[in-house]
Structure 1
Amino acid sequence: MEHEQHGPRRWWVLAVGMFAMTSGCAFQFGLPYLIPVLRDEGLSLSRAGLLAACPTIGLVLTLAAWGAAADRWGERWVLASGLGLGGLVLPAATAVHGPFALGLCFLLAGAAGASAHASSGRLILGWFPARERGLAMGLRQTSLPLGVALAALLLPPLAAHGRARALAVLGALSVAAALLVAVAVRDPARTDGGAGARAANPYRTAVLWRLHGAATLLVVPQFTVSVFALVFLVDERGWSPSTAGPLLACVQVAGAGARLAAGRWSDVVGSRVRPIRQLAVTASGVLALLAVGAFTGSAPAVAALMAAGVLTVSTNGLSFTAVAEYAGSAWAGRALGVHTTVRNAVAACVGPTVGALIGSTGYGWAYALVVGFPLAAAALLPRPHEKSAGPTSRARRERAGLDLKPG
């Protein structure tokens, strides 16, 4: 898969992959926009929130399996079948009765749509040469905020006419994406002949484990900032939600731009790890300023919050690119599945844990606590020329940008 795919076709493949992942993310992470209509149906806030989380639970449960399937059978049909199945389950949810049956449908749709997270990353690894892969993966990572934005735009007005219409539109988007993938996408050339099971296991060295661990540590400050940004501005700074919302939307847009800039930076310097380490250290400094601002109630806390919101998401695409490149064509799907699973599992714990901390000690101590997570991630990242066993380790390290230039 290190084979370079030439011509403009790779950008078309990227565009189709982004549309596919955006469609999947719209229902996997956008169902909270249906909470008002679910409450109108008589559900409590806690039950409605649990239903909205069911697609994410399904995604976490099946990511590794979808990745293994993509390694074995290729990206095109795994991506198309998962999105197609998820798109068919969503309209079926309009015919069921009771929260348990509805939650099961949401869980199954999320589990099917998880194929997009493993397969779309593999497509980028196969179609793009290393000098463009960081930017391409950064573009791919913008699909998640685009999907959530699409849900925010479509679901509230559709839900005004009933839950069924909103779910039908989400299902139609997913099916359309599946059909587009089946028609327009071709699997990239593979150097392993599809013999993933016979390839050397990259998990026999510490490099992938350290990449997973560092990226997971960086999830903690990312979700600490994003989950509580609105309530911080409202509770601590006295802003109204209508004023804080547009500002935080701008932060999301800037964060997407930061992902792209970081990806391009990694392409230019020939390293994925070096930019991650430098961005992590910078994010730690900004989080420290945010903690000080929260303790003192000073105005610069708002600027620090915005900067933290951008910096803490800037490394997402880089970590996925490094994992896929180091794993290689035979193991990339499984490695990306593990990577996404672990990150999402930890992210799910951040909200209740940090929320309890804020409730007992305040925002200042919560922000101060997460200052150390980016520093720990920077220390955990693998170093250039670090010894790793196995005859293919050198090639893997070069693919992952760990040896190309000093880090």
Structure 2
Amino acid sequence: MTVAEKKARIRPGRRWVILAIGVIAQAAASAFIYGVPFLVPTLRDTLGLSLAQVGVYVAAPTVGLLCTLIAWGAAADRWGERVVMASGLAVAGLDIAALVAVTHRAPHPPTPLLLALLVVGGAGGASVNAASGRMVMGWFPPTERGMAMGIRQTAQPLGVGLAGLSLPTLAHHLGAFPAMVAPGGLCLLSAVGVTAFAPDPPRAPRRPGEARPRSPYRSWLLPRVHAASALLVVPQFAVSAFTVEYLVHQRHWGTAAAGAFAAAMQLAGAAGRIGSGAWSDRVGSRLRPMRQLAVAAALVLLVFALGDVLTAHWLAWVAPAALAVGAVVSVADNGLGYAVTAEIAGPSWSGRALGTQNTGQNVFAALAPVTLGSIIGGSGYAVGFAVAAIAPLIAIGVTPVRTEPPPRW
């Protein structure tokens, strides 16, 4: 039986159930990995930490993620997506349970132990980043992959949103780390859901004596995709990291109004990821829309920079409007980069390729706010966002549109 025949035996609606499980699993992992910032006020009050010290706690899960993404991807290539996702989520859930138990027994446990547990939890959650994208690629045909990957990419903001809604309240009543019982429980439930309802997509068996698939990194095609995707993280974090701060302190908005504006733009950004994926399905290319979005991101950042220096009162809307558009445009390419990475790599290498893709993006995500914050602090928002526009401008040239191949699988 061929791979196509095996896929045809699965009910058409089943792949959407598998996608939903993957989204929930990714949201659960994201709620933990990116949820620690919501515990900062409670951590500072209970442990007496400085901002620099608490920053180490915030970074610890991301360190675990970055150190293991490629390894989890290689495991998915070899043993399949389901076992990788389920085992990683189980590790994260049990690790969070240990974190809760340790902090429940001792109000001030040793810092190295807490950091180690946070790193291990982030490493477990990293399994979903590579494997869930690979699972989507395996179950969806090329005509639906862009939209499916766009839906999958909404999982991270969904997880962060859930963390934002639940963790501050739970931390107030239970304490900082005991509040993590919520994402920990969701990770364990997701592990069960993946095991029960998310089978691996069928793979073509290797014939006896057949050579192992060649590495897709023998050419510059995938490295260029990785580089372009990493560069396009810069406008995303320029907008997301500084929107509320800018509106409150530069435009004198109320905190609640600025927060509501940012939340609404997060929802619009999630819709933008799905829309760009559907667009790529329609035109039969991931990289052409990705390059056009790079052009749009550069223009938005430059329009914001111009709006920041305009002094006429009747032009005060330009900078906020640029932020609103930027919140959609700057994230719309995420699913496209993932989809084309997996399509170029093929089923034998997609896990490792997606792990590499995610590693590069997370490195730039960690560096962008710090770098731009320093520039903005010294020279102002107009200069900072103008400098940020350099990244998507470079991405326009780096994106390998002319050499984009048709999907392999």
TM over 0.5: same fold? yes
1:209 pairs, out of 223, 241, 252, with: 223
Separation of aligned partners in 2, 1:194 and 1:378: 41
Q: Which residue of structure 1 aligns with residue 191 of structure 2?
A: 178
Query: Residues 213-362 of structure 1 correspond to what in structure 2 (within 5 A)?
Result: 213-297=227-311, 298-299=315-316, 300-362=318-380
| Aligned residue-pair number | 391
Q: Which residue of structure 2 aligns with residue 392 of structure 1?
A: none
The answer to whether the aligner puts 1:63 opposite 2:76 as a matched pair is no
The answer to whether the aligner puts 1:148 opposite 2:156 as a matched pair is no
Contact 1:3 1:129 in 2 (8 A): no
Q: Which residue of structure 1 aligns with residue 112 of structure 2?
A: 100
Residues 237-271 of structure 1, C-alpha deviation per residue, up to 9 Å, x if partnerless? 11121110000111111000000000000001100
The answer to whether the aligner puts 1:121 opposite 2:133 as a matched pair is yes
Q: Which residue of structure 2 aligns with residue 169 of structure 1?
A: 182
Q: Which residue of structure 2 aligns with residue 40 of structure 1?
A: 45
Measured at CA, do residues 398 and 192 of structure 1 come closer, stay the same or move farther in structure 2, by a change above 3 Å?
Answer: farther
Measured at CA, do residues 349 and 192 of structure 1 come closer, stay the same or move farther in structure 2, by a change above 3 Å?
Answer: farther
Residues 41-96 of structure 1, C-alpha deviation per residue, up to 9 Å, x if partnerless? 12222222321221111101100000000000000011000000110001211215
TM-superposed CA distance for 1:168, in Å, is 2.1
Q: Which amino acid aligns with 2:34?
A: F
Deviation larger for 296-305 or 213-222:
296-305
Q: Which amino acid aligns with 2:336?
A: L
Q: Which residue of structure 1 aligns with residue 406 of structure 2?
A: 398
Contact 2:61 2:119 in 1 (8 A): yes
TM-superposed CA distance for 1:347, in Å, is 1.2
Residues 137-157 of structure 1, C-alpha deviation per residue, up to 9 Å, x if partnerless? 000000000000110111112
Separation of aligned partners in 2, 1:183 and 1:2: 22
TM-superposed CA distance for 1:375, in Å, is 2.0
Identity of aligned residues (%): 46
Q: Which residue of structure 2 aligns with residue 87 of structure 1?
A: 93
Measured at CA, do residues 197 and 83 of structure 1 come closer, stay the same or move farther in structure 2, by a change above 3 Å?
Answer: farther
Contact 1:2 1:129 in 2 (8 A): no
Measured at CA, do residues 197 and 215 of structure 1 come closer, stay the same or move farther in structure 2, by a change above 3 Å?
Answer: farther
Residues 308-336 of structure 1, C-alpha deviation per residue, up to 9 Å, x if partnerless? 12111110110100101110000000000
2:122 pairs, out of 68, 93, 110, with: 110
Contact 1:276 1:315 in 2 (8 A): yes
Contact 2:372 2:388 in 1 (8 A): no
TM-superposed CA distance for 1:213, in Å, is 0.7
Residues 222-246 of structure 1, C-alpha deviation per residue, up to 9 Å, x if partnerless? 1111111111111211112111000
Residues 16-39 of structure 1, C-alpha deviation per residue, up to 9 Å, x if partnerless? 111111110000111111112211
TM-superposed CA distance for 1:177, in Å, is 0.5
Gaps of 5+ in 1: 387-395, 402-407
Q: Which residue of structure 2 aligns with residue 405 of structure 1?
A: none
Contact 2:346 2:408 in 1 (8 A): no
Separation of aligned partners in 1, 2:183 and 2:386: 40
Contact 1:3 1:126 in 2 (8 A): no
Deviation larger for 214-223 or 154-163:
154-163
Residues 138-188 of structure 1, C-alpha deviation per residue, up to 9 Å, x if partnerless? 000000000001101111121122235312222111111001111111110
Q: Which amino acid aligns with 2:56?
A: L
2:405 is paired with a residue whose SS is helix
Q: Which amino acid aligns with 1:399?
A: P
Contact 2:341 2:354 in 1 (8 A): yes
Separation of aligned partners in 2, 1:375 and 1:127: 34
Query: Residues 369-384 of structure 1 correspond to what in structure 2 (within 5 A)?
Result: 369-384=387-402
1:53 is paired with a residue whose SS is helix
Q: Which amino acid aligns with 2:73?
A: G
Q: Which amino acid aligns with 1:383?
A: V
TM-superposed CA distance for 1:383, in Å, is 2.7
Residues 348-367 of structure 1, C-alpha deviation per residue, up to 9 Å, x if partnerless? 01111111101111000011
Deviation larger for 118-127 or 40-49:
40-49
Measured at CA, do residues 160 and 398 of structure 1 come closer, stay the same or move farther in structure 2, by a change above 3 Å?
Answer: same
Q: Which amino acid aligns with 1:198?
A: R
2:59 pairs, out of 53, 62, 68, with: 53
Q: Which residue of structure 1 aligns with residue 31 of structure 2?
A: 26
TM-superposed CA distance for 1:400, in Å, is 7.1
Q: Which residue of structure 1 aligns with residue 106 of structure 2?
A: none
TM-superposed CA distance for 1:197, in Å, is 9.0
1:114 is paired with a residue whose SS is helix
Separation of aligned partners in 2, 1:157 and 1:353: 32
Contact 1:17 1:140 in 2 (8 A): yes
Separation of aligned partners in 1, 2:235 and 2:110: 37
Q: Which amino acid aligns with 1:27?
A: F
Q: Which amino acid aligns with 2:55?
A: G
Gaps of 5+ in 2: 104-108
